[in-house]
Structure 1
Amino acid sequence: MDLFSVEYQEELRKLHKDESAHFGNSARMPGGIFAPPLFKLILGVLDTHNLSSFLDFGCGKSGGVPLPRDQFPSLKDRQVHGFDPGVAEYADSSKLGSKYSVVFSNDVLEHIEERYIDNNIEFIANRTEDLFIAFIDTYPALKKLSNGLNAHVIIAQPEWWITRMIRHFDCFLSHVVRYNETPNPPGKLLFLGVKSRAGKNAASEIFARLPFHLRISASDMEK
């Protein structure tokens, strides 16, 4: 199953090598959506529900953990792997395990070529034992590819993403983080795809404890 074209993989590698672009590092930036307090909240829920293995899909340069492990001691006892076609060290999908309790993807799916997005979602779902956690931008990026196209090669509304992903999960929760209160403001989709009872319990707790005070766009625990 192809996840990307050779040409686009080379484009991703160029972006990752450009230190000035901060590509693949947004999760480590203080203002990032996955800043330490939110990651700590989600990691705590995963610990509570005994979800022990973790795949960071589109890990960038972080190698499977979106923030430094020394901030989160419980990560030391986890099976934690990363995959990213744009970083040579993490580009070989054959080295990954067959299943992970949790697959996590932060600001990644919108960077995937549209002709391969369904393959990627299927790849993720096939490796998810309990819970898939994804943050997806639904607006244009500031960065451009070398061919002038926007770095968010898929710009789509939350409903477009949800329709594609729910085919592969037993049930789901979703939430849209809006950045302002103007008409049709840009937003970031949080999607929690469930594959098991443990995953469903963890998703419900994460959703209930989210620190977001902004509007909910959709919630559905029955597919």
Structure 2
Amino acid sequence: MSAHQPSPRYFELLEQYRDAHENGLLVQGERQPNVFTGKSLKPHIRVISDLLHACDARTLLDYGCGKAVFHKAEQFDLDGETISSLKEFWGLEKVTLFDPGVEAHSQLADGPFDAVISTDVLEHVDEQDVDFVLDQIFSRALKVVYMNISTRPAAKCLPNGENAHVTVRPPEWWKARIEAIAAGRGVAFYCALEDGGQTIEVFRNGC
């Protein structure tokens, strides 16, 4: 579909994620009741912090935040350092959360925001809707976008049995899609491509 209109498949997958958030998933044969918590943000917190401080960001949208566990935590450990507030650690005045699969975060604000982050999200979007989601991300960013994307199948399967990573593509494919959507917007971006939790390639522009 176009960058401005999602496909029927987008809404089919959305129902799968709503089901998963409410009822849990089978992961390697075992029922996990609490999934897509937002814990995959943790390895990226310091890199994001550097980007936010470098561009003097004050407002941020977390697009695809899941249950936003670190945003809501009263404190958590980060490499031996106790973080009492993620918003304060990042030097932000306001954080806005969005995840269409979580009722509490299902309304997407128009923004704009100084920064938009999207961690462990885009590989969960069907290929035909990747441009739509990228446009939603970049159109709300004033200064910088941060993304990380897995390039291998997930350990989790959706309630219908389909692998949760519905779009598994090599780094060059993602690079072309992101650069096409980002072109002409004047927004810096940083994208980390991963394989099994290890960063295999980073491409960036303006940051």
8 Å CA contact 2:145, 2:189 repeated in 1: no
The structural deviation recorded for 1:115 is: 1.9
Partner deviation per Cα, 1:135-160 (whole Å, 9 max, x = no partner): 10000001111222111010111111
What is the root-mean-square deviation in Å for CA atoms of aligned residues? 3.0
Secondary structure of 2:67 counterpart: helix
Q: Percent identity?
A: 27
Structure 1: runs of 5+ lacking an equivalent: 181-185, 195-199, 204-223
Q: Aligned partner of 1:39: which letter?
A: I
TM-score (structure 2 length as normaliser): 0.73
Which residue is equivalent to 1:8?
13
Which residue is equivalent to 1:116?
129
**Distance between the aligned counterparts of 1:44 and 1:155, measured in 2?**
28
Secondary structure of 2:114 counterpart: strand
1:35 to 26, 42, 54: 42
Secondary structure of 2:138 counterpart: helix
Structure 2: runs of 5+ lacking an equivalent: 25-31, 76-83
Which structure's residues are more often strand, by fraction? 2
Q: Aligned partner of 2:156: which letter?
A: K
Task: Report whether the alignment pairs 1:85 with 2:95.
Answer: no
Which structure's residues are more often helix, by fraction? 1
Count of paired positions: 182
Which residue is equivalent to 1:152?
165
In the TM superposition, 1:1-223 aligns within 5 A as 1-3=4-6, 5-19=10-24, 20=32, 22-25=34-37, 27-28=38-39, 32=40, 34-35=41-42, 38-62=44-68, 65=71, 70-72=84-86, 73-74=88-89, 77-93=92-108, 96-170=109-183, 174-177=191-194, 190=202, 192=204, 194=205, 200=206, 203=207
**Distance between the aligned counterparts of 1:39 and 1:87, measured in 2?**
22
The structural deviation recorded for 1:71 is: 3.7
Partner deviation per Cα, 1:34-65 (whole Å, 9 max, x = no partner): 436x4134314412431111010100011793
**Distance between the aligned counterparts of 1:2 and 1:65, measured in 2?**
30
Distance 1:7 1:157, change over 3 A: same
TM-score (structure 1 length as normaliser): 0.68
